[in-house]
Structure 1
Amino acid sequence: MPEQRVTREAVLDAALAVVREQGEAALSARSVAQRAGCSVQPIYSLFGDMGELVRQLYGHARAWVAAYNREHEHDGCNAFESNGLAHLRLAREERPLFHFLYLSPHMEATGFKEVYESVAVDGVQACIEELGNLSPEAARELYLDMIVYVHGMAAMLATGAQLSDEELRERMDRAFRGFVALVRA
């Protein structure tokens, strides 16, 4: 019988499934191996230890979210609204994954510049420039303000708040209008 080779991608996919379903606390070599259909040996051979698996899983999970965002890029009136709605939806529908990515120390942001670079989505800043008739610098600052604001609502959703989609959209719109007014003042 030929030897079955477990790939790095298969282990990362299995680890992602564990986190999405049960949260990071359920992540262990045994739970990942069970999900991947292998023994724990390939996990240690491929990653060395669980710490390295978790570090690589963070990037893998971020790539999954990027694909998720692309799937929902037309859910709003424009790229900006769609981006915010996708983040809110992720918090509501993928709570354990949201906690792993954004409510844990794995993000390693040391300042707002890193936050922006970590989560900004291509095309959204240009959309904000157009919507608000803003310079690139002002649009970038407004985008960062909205990232912080929307993430606050997302954190509430991820911890169980029952906020309607209509209320979330209204809050995002009010915040955007308020931030634009501040930039223009």
Structure 2
Amino acid sequence: MRRKVYTKDQILKAAYELIAKEGFGKFTARNIAKKMGISTQPIYLEFKNMQDLKNTLVESIMTDLHENVFPVRHTDDIIVDLGLNYINFARENRNLYVALYVDEYGGGQMVHDFSYDYFKENVSKDPKYADLSEDYIKPLHDGIWITVTGIASLMSSGIIQPSREEIIELIQRAIEMILNVKEPEKVFDNY
């Protein structure tokens, strides 16, 4: 009798569905196997351990976000567009957003690194920001991320419901504030 073979992609799909619904707090081999109706053995045949599965899953999700979600253009400003796309993702995929960006068991430093690398690459290609030094890019990334995460979190919890124009204005103000600082590397020194 032939055994059914479970692929890495099938396991990743089940893991994705689990965290999109329940977050990383329920991210165990047993819960993924239960979702698939299998034992945990196929999971450990495809992945070294649960951290390997989690890293592979987060990389896969971030690649999808970078290819399909974050590049959508809304305005003539790449940074504003990245902020809008981040907020839209949070609103449309609340549980997955919380799992990746908020949950203590989420992507953490890996998600931050992916986001920073993507931000830096895209901002440096935009003629409006191409001449910015690293001294400005990092605080600009962090400041915009703080701004849009605050907006996304407050919108997701129903506390605020700003219009698209208000969101754009908030992001533009954050950009201007950081770009007008004489010593950008000190923007977050007091925090």
TM range (shorter): 0.7 to 0.9
The match for 2:102 is: 103
Change (3 A) 1:23 1:160: farther
Maintained 8 Å contact 2:90/2:97: yes
Report the Cα distance in structure 2 between the residues aligned to 1:58 and 1:37, rounded to whole angstroms: 23
Aligned-residue identity in percent: 21
Report the Cα distance in structure 2 between the residues aligned to 1:136 and 1:28, rounded to whole angstroms: 42
Equivalent position to 1:136, from 133, 140, 153: 133
Pairwise CA RMSD: 3.1
Maintained 8 Å contact 1:92/1:157: yes
1:43-58 superposed matches below 5 A = 43-47=43-47, 52-53=49-50, 55-58=52-55
1:29-178 superposed matches below 5 A = 29-47=29-47, 52-53=49-50, 55-72=52-69, 73-77=71-75, 78-105=77-104, 106-109=106-109, 117-120=113-116, 121=118, 123-127=121-125, 130-131=127-128, 134-140=131-137, 141-164=139-162, 165-178=164-177
Change (3 A) 1:108 1:23: closer
The match for 1:14 is: 14
SS in 1 for 2:42: helix
Letter in 2 for 1:61: V
Report the Cα distance in structure 1 between the residues aligned to 2:24 and 2:183, rounded to whole angstroms: 43
SS in 2 for 1:179: helix
Instruction: Give the paired residue count.
Output: 177
- Richer in helix (by share): 1
Gaps of 5+ in 2: 185-191
Letter in 1 for 2:176: R
Report the Cα distance in structure 1 between the residues aligned to 2:30 and 2:158, rounded to whole angstroms: 29
Report the Cα distance in structure 1 between the residues aligned to 2:15 and 2:88, rounded to whole angstroms: 22
Maintained 8 Å contact 1:92/1:158: yes
Give the TM-score taking structure 2 as reference length.
0.73
Gaps of 5+ in 1: none
Maintained 8 Å contact 1:58/1:101: no
